Structure formats: C-alpha cells, structure tokens
Amino acid sequence: MKILVAVKQVPERDAQIRVAADGKWIDEGDLSYTINEPDAYALEEALQLKEKNGGEVVVVCAGPERVVSTLREALAKGADRAIHLEADDLGERDTLGIARMLADAVKGEAPDLILTGLQSEDLGLGQTGVVMAELLGIPHATIIMQVEVVDGGVKVKRELEDGWFQHVEMPLPALLTIQSGGNRLRYATLMGIKKAKTKETATVLAGAAVARAVSLERVYLPEKQKKTEMLTGTSAEVAAKLVEKLKFEVRVL
C-alpha cells in the first residue's frame, strides 16, 4: 500500500505574531516554523498503517526552501520518500488553488491512500483535504480517529458530536483527514535522523497561481476592548436595566 501524507509548515505556537505592513498576512521575517500538528497526526497514522500492513509512506509539503526541514523531520520519523512542491507564493493561493496544486503533484504517484490533518493551525479552514479529494475524484471522509485496512478498502472511525462515533467502510483509493489526538506522536530517533539523510527528497516546481476564488482582505490581532457602564437609579430601576441589557445586548437570558 502506498500512503501519501500532505503536510504543511506553520509558525510555531509560541511565536510572536506581527501583522505585515500591508495588513494582508503576518510578517514572516523572524518566525520559526514547524510541522502543522494535525498533519503530524496524519503522518503518525500513516506510519502505523505501514508498520501493520507494509508498503510505502510518501510525504509532500508545498512552500519555499524552508519547508525542507519539515520534510526531513517526517523522513526521520519513518517516511520513505519526500516531495518538496516548491512554491514561494502560497499567500497568493486560496484553498482551491492550493488543493489543485497538491492534486496535480500527487496524480503521478497514484497513492492508494492520502492522509491530511483535519485543518491547519494558521488558517484553520479544514477544507484543503476534501477539495483535493474532489479534484482527484476519489471518496473522502473527515474527522478520522482510527483507520483499519480491510479487504478492498479501509474501515474508519469518525468522531461526531456529543460523544458519538461513526464507522464507515470505504474503497481505495481514498482521502482521509485525521483528527488530532487519536495516536501518540513519536519522536525522531538518532538512527532515524541519520537514515533521513540518505532518503530521497524530490523537488517539483509548482504550477503558476491562478485567479483566486476567495480573497483575504485583512488580517489583524484580536482587538481588546474594555467598557464600563454605571447603572443609576433605585434598586428596582437598576435591576430592570440590567435584565434588559442581559436580554438584548449580552443575550444570555
């Protein structure tokens, strides 16, 4: 079984975020980057499937030269090959554009199973995986907690609301978006880091960006607002004003 894992490199969680001068995105000048955590769980699921059923794990990451560090980390953890989809203009591509770029890059690999994280930590849209599946014309399922290979396909456990789960059998090839927390993430061993240096990392130039279907108009930090209003009058009048505000302004009654 050939499993392809699409990962994304994102700013580290404790990074000091500053909005760029044009207000369209964040200032990337002094940021440190790491693998998107939901994608790390997708990689872990792929590695465990390989250990149980054999096969090959191929990891792909789109972005500038810096994403090679994320690919090396995936190789050190146990992935067999890596594909660097070279693109310095991710900010100019919307979800459809990025999904199309990834779909075009993986067609030649013809994987049996494609895994992605449920969503990215920077944008959190949760759309790239399912749009990619639609472009490839393969079945997909989201919020996956467990994956089991069965005759002719896979059986997956989906997390629903209020503690409910759904079990679904799907034919292959298919695409799954993996929920975080389903497995314990492994660390790269010293031997894995050494082996990663000998593993293949292919560089593929991404196609030109096409017109965006969705445009990002503004990025800004949460705005802190403090407001104090004094209610005056008799006890009954103050109580009536408070109830009115709770009903119509705060909307908790």
**Residue 54 pLDDT level (bands cut at 50, 70, 90):** very high
pLDDT of residue 40: 95
CA–CA dist 66, 193 (Å, integer): 18
Q: Does pLDDT of 12 surpass 80?
A: yes
Give CA separation, 53 vs 2, 47, 158, in Å. Answer: 10, 10, 21
| Contact (Cβ atoms closer than 8 angstroms) between residue 13 and residue 35 | no
- When pLDDT is averaged across residues 179-202 and rounded to a whole number, the result is 92
Q: Does pLDDT of 187 surpass 80?
A: yes
pLDDT of residue 200: 92
- When pLDDT is averaged across residues 38-63 and rounded to a whole number, the result is 95
Tally of CB atoms within 10 A around 234: 8
Q: Does pLDDT of 118 surpass 90?
A: yes
CATH number listed for the domain at residues 2-205: 3.40.50.620
pLDDT of residue 139: 95
- When pLDDT is averaged across residues 214-232 and rounded to a whole number, the result is 80
Q: Does pLDDT of 25 surpass 90?
A: no
Helix (H) or strand (E) segment spanning residue 165: strand 165-171
Sheet holding 174-178, edge to edge: 165-171, 153-159, 140-150, 174-178, 113-117, 2-7, 56-63, 81-86, 201-205
Crossing angle of helices 37-53 and 68-77, in 10° steps, is 30
Q: To which residue do tokens 């070279």 refer?
A: 86
Q: Does pLDDT of 247 surpass 80?
A: yes
pLDDT of residue 19: 85
Q: Does pLDDT of 30 surpass 90?
A: no
Percent of the chain's residues with pLDDT above 90: 63
- When pLDDT is averaged across residues 47-54 and rounded to a whole number, the result is 95
pLDDT of residue 252: 78
DSSP 8-state code for residue 237? H
Extents of the domains making up the chain = 2-205
**Residue 80 pLDDT level (bands cut at 50, 70, 90):** very high
Q: Does pLDDT of 211 surpass 80?
A: no
Q: Does pLDDT of 91 surpass 90?
A: no
Percent of the chain's residues with pLDDT above 70: 100
